[in-house]
Amino acid sequence: ITSNPVISTVVSSPSHLASLPHFDRPTYLMCPPQFYDVNYVINPWMAGNLHRPSRDAAFAQWNNLHQHLQRISDVRLLQARPNLPDMVFVAHSALVQHGVAAVSSFAHPQRQAEEQYLRRWFQTAGFLVWETPRETAFEGEGDALFNATGDHLWAAHGVRTCRQSHRHVADAWHTPVTSLHLVDPRFYHLDTCFAPLSGGHLLYFPAAFDGPSLAKIEAAYPVDKRIAVTETEATHFVCNLINTGKNIIMGTAGTDLATRLTKLGYEVAELDLSEFLRGGGSAKALALRLSDTTVTNALPIS
Ligand code: ARG
């Protein structure tokens, strides 16, 4: 059941399904920070940071993240383009599952020119591209995250992504979707304040959501699975983490959060990603998941 019968026919056609890319190992897409900078202000973190990132420091931090991620997954690279300083935050360009890529329609014109390069990359790599309408902004993994088992989509609205896009995006996989309302402009994307983890836990910053949204979150995650972070941790963008199997890569928390996560069975690497905080992003924003959620979340066999 879908609002888009034409594309749904394509998705459910066995010959197309067979030819869509599938990854047996956790796989991500990254885009190097050749042209990374803060050239405009489209989130509160960028204010006061205009042209402040050091490209050398950004490259060193990005390389470190790339190396860490390569130890636990395959990493594909997308070519950076001049005049697109936010292209390094590739996670917001699409949401991917089962070889289908729902490509973003960015809310701000400053990022819209990134879309064509992503669309082309996905087409060349054999993905089925699910278009999203310009009128209803959608910002990929920034605002849409699957639960650990990949059968439920959480999607946010209130700042960037339009609520009207949620059902359309979820229709790409015929998945149920729950809409959450973001109310704090500092946490302008869902992936800045909400991170479903492979062990069924949820790391989140409660004050970023309105009351009805919190009720939905608490109904889905029992209290022993919810890990609420403090405001200090949230503003260090700890929720913007990469989780592959039991591994977690996150920016420096400045607290004992890594120890708390280790006690729950995760292996945590804290990296300095301070140059990217100036642009409003951290680890997760710098890597787009290409492998299915179940493959990405599976614990290593040995
Ligand atoms: N400057 C980028 C933007 O505002 C940063 C994106 C980082 N997003 C995030 N969810 N961490 O679009």
Q: What is the mean pLDDT of each run of 10 residues along the chain (302 residues)?
A: 42 61 96 94 91 94 98 97 96 96 95 96 96 94 95 95 94 96 96 96 97 98 96 95 96 93 96 95 97 87 42
**Among 78, 28, 36, 43, CA closest to 60:** 36
What pLDDT score was predicted for residue 2? Answer: 41
Cα separations in angstroms, 134 against 41, 63, 95, 165, 274: 21, 33, 16, 10, 32
DSSP secondary structure letter of residue 216: H
Three-state DSSP state, 169: helix
* Residue 255 backbone class (left: φ over 0; alpha: ψ -120 to 50; beta: rest): beta
Global pTM reads 0.92
Alpha helices in the chain (DSSP H): 5-12, 14-19, 55-72, 109-112, 114-124, 164-170, 211-220, 231-235, 257-263, 274-277, 293-297
Paired strand residues for 179: 155
Classify residue 138 by its DSSP letter. Answer: B
Rounded distance between C-alpha atoms, residue 114 and residue 87, angstroms: 6
| pLDDT (0 to 100) of residue 3 | 43
Reduced to 3 states, what is the DSSP secondary structure of residue 153?
A: strand
Ligand 1 geometric centre to CA of 233 (Å): 17
Residue 142 alpha carbon, nearest atom of ligand 1: 10
Determine which residue's CA is closest to atom 9 belonging to ligand 1: 281
| Spatial distance between the Cα atoms of 83 and 87, rounded to a whole number of angstroms | 9
- Give me the pLDDT at residue 168, please: 94
Ligand 1 center to 13 CA (angstroms): 36
Taking every pair of C-alpha atoms in the chain, what is the biggest distance, in angstroms?
52
Note the pLDDT of residue 110: 93
Report yes or no: 270 and 251 within 8 Å, Cβ to Cβ. yes
Strands (E), 123-213: 128-130, 144-146, 153-157, 177-181, 194-196, 202-204
How many Cβ atoms sit within 10 Å of the Cβ of residue 72? 22
Ligand 1 pocket test: pick from 31, 36, 43, 192 the residue with the most ligand atoms within 8 Å of its Cβ.
Answer: 43
Q: Ligand 1, closest atom to CA 189?
A: 10
| Ligand 1 lining (C-beta closer than 6 Å) | 42-43, 46, 86, 89, 92, 111, 142, 189, 191-192, 240, 279-282, 285
Cα(42) to ligand 1 centroid in Å equals: 8
pLDDT at residue 15, as a whole number: 53
Closest CA to 175 of 205, 154, 204, 203: 154
Separation of CA 111 from chain center: 16
What distance in angstroms lies between residue 53's CA and the mean position of ligand 1's atoms?
14
Q: Best mutation site among 92, 182, 194 for ligand 1, i.e. most ligand atoms within 8 A of its Cβ?
A: 92
Amino acid, res. 1: I
How far does the chain reach from its first CA to its final CA, in angstroms?
Answer: 40
Edge-to-edge strands, sheet with 226-228:
194-196, 202-204, 226-228
**Element containing residue 48 per DSSP (H, E):** none
- Exposed e or buried b per residue across 37-56, where buried means at least 16 C-beta atoms within 10 angstroms of its C-beta: bbeeebbebbeebeeebeee
Q: 191 alpha carbon to ligand 1 midpoint, in Å?
A: 9
> Tokens for 298?
């599976």
CA 235 to ligand 1 centroid distance, Å:
13
Name the CA dihedral angle for 80, 85, 89, 94, rounded to a multiple of 10 degrees.
-70
Cα–Cα distance for residue pair 138/245, rounded to 1 Å: 27
Q: Which of 35, 90, 111, 189 to mutate to test the pocket of ligand 1 (most atoms within 8 A of CB)?
A: 189
Check residue 240 and give its pLDDT: 97
For ligand 1, atom 11, which residue shows the shortest CA distance? 281
**Ligand 1 atom showing the smallest separation from residue 284 Cα:** 11
